[in-house]
Structure formats: C-alpha cells, structure tokens
Homo-oligomer: A and B are copies of this chain.
Amino acid sequence: MSDHAVGPEIERLIQLLARLPGLGPRSARRVALHLVKRKDQLMGPLAEALAVAHERVVECETCGNIDTMTPCAVCRDPRRDGSVLVVVEDVADLWALERAQAVKARYHVLGGVLSPLDGVGPEQLAIDTLVERARDPQVREVILAINATVEGQTTAYYITDQLEACDVSVTRLAHGVPVGGELDYLDEGTLAAAMRARTQLQAQD
C-alpha cells in the first residue's frame, strides 16, 4: 500500500493483522477499517483483551492445554475421570472435544504428529511426558484422539508401542459415518470401516 493515505500506525496494524490465519492484505485492511470505525466498542476492548491474554496465558505444564495458570483448569478439575487420558494433536482438538462434551477426562496435547519430511520426530512431540503420565497407576486407559490422516495413524501406532510397558489399555476413536452425513458423499475407506464396525440394532421394548 502506498503510504500517502495511511499513517505508519495503521500501516503497522494492517501488517500484523495480515499475519493472522485466514486473513490476507485485503481482508486485513478491511478488518483495520472495521476496527477504526468501532474504536471504543471493539478496537479498545480487543487491544485490552490481547494485552491481558499476552500477559497471563500460559501452557499447562502437565497436559499442554492453554490457560491462565498451570496446571490448567482441566487438570485441576476434581470431577474429571483421572483414569482416562485423551491424547490430541493440538489444543484446538482439545477444545473441539470439550465443546462436544465427548468425555470428562484429562488430556495430553502432543503438539503435532510425526512427520519425518517436516523434521518432526518423537523428540519434537510430548510423547515422553505422555509415557510418564501413563505410568501413574491411576491411569487405566489412553484414548488416542488423533486425526485420521496417514501421519496421525503413524503417530498412533508409535505411541501404542511406547505405551506397551505401561499397564494401560490404548484405544482410538471409532471410524464411521458422521452423524447427519450422507453415504453418497463419503470416501470408500470410511464406508468400509463403518461396515466392518457395524453394530446390532435392538428392537424397542
């Protein structure tokens, strides 16, 4: 952008906004303008919220979740089932499972999946700390809630090997037809997996 029309302060704001995922230079300018027009309703509060989060947000030393203290709220919550550890790739996956209220257990964030081509080996992921947590006699099950990609499945097998010495049962999420999904749009792999894992329907009493 030419610097004739906008001052360096707005130019810098636009450049930073353009580094957010999903925003390019054009949408960053649109966001900047939207913020300038809503200075007190949105720009001020957002600056404040970012400053607060910047100052206070930390990574949980136990599970890798994000919170304002460590251990995080999930790890501290006494109502959760301490015998189950749910292993996820990323904090976003943890949040997704929490929104779905899929399980009331504790988590372990790997921080990625094995990907030799990208230089991600076991030492780049939080696998050592997972094995350590799984050694706790309280832990009975480790659920691998890892994306069903090739790298994700490789990582799942690697973790299963690493957990062999621990006295835990290792499970993974079921494959199948998404709820509300149409068969016609599903890939063959999912359909075959859903067929193999078919379940008995019970007649209603």
Contacts and interface: CB of A to CB of B under 8 A. Distances in A.
A43 B116 CA distance: 30
Contact of A9 (B36, B57, B77): B57
Given A65-B5, A95-B1, A95-B29, A47 B54 contact: yes
Contacts of A22: 22-23, 27, 30-31
A53 B13 CA distance: 8
B49 A16 contact: yes
B4 A73 contact: yes
A178 interface: no
Contacts of A156: none
A47 B6 CA distance: 19
Interface residues of A, number: 57
Given A4-B74, A67-B6, A92-B29, A47 B43 contact: no
A39 B16 CA distance: 13
A33 interface: yes
Nearest to A17: B46
A92 B30 contact: yes
A194 to B, nearest CB: 26
27 contacts: A1-B98, A2-B98, A4-B98, A5-B73, A5-B98, A6-B66, A6-B95, A7-B57, A7-B67, A7-B68, A9-B49, A9-B52, A9-B57, A10-B53, A10-B66, A16-B42, A16-B45, A16-B49, A20-B35, A21-B31, A30-B92, A32-B53, A33-B90, A33-B92, A35-B53, A39-B54, A50-B50
Interface of A: 1-2, 4-7, 9-10, 12-13, 16-17, 19-23, 27, 29-36, 39, 42-54, 56-57, 65-68, 73-74, 77, 90-92, 94-95, 98-99, 101
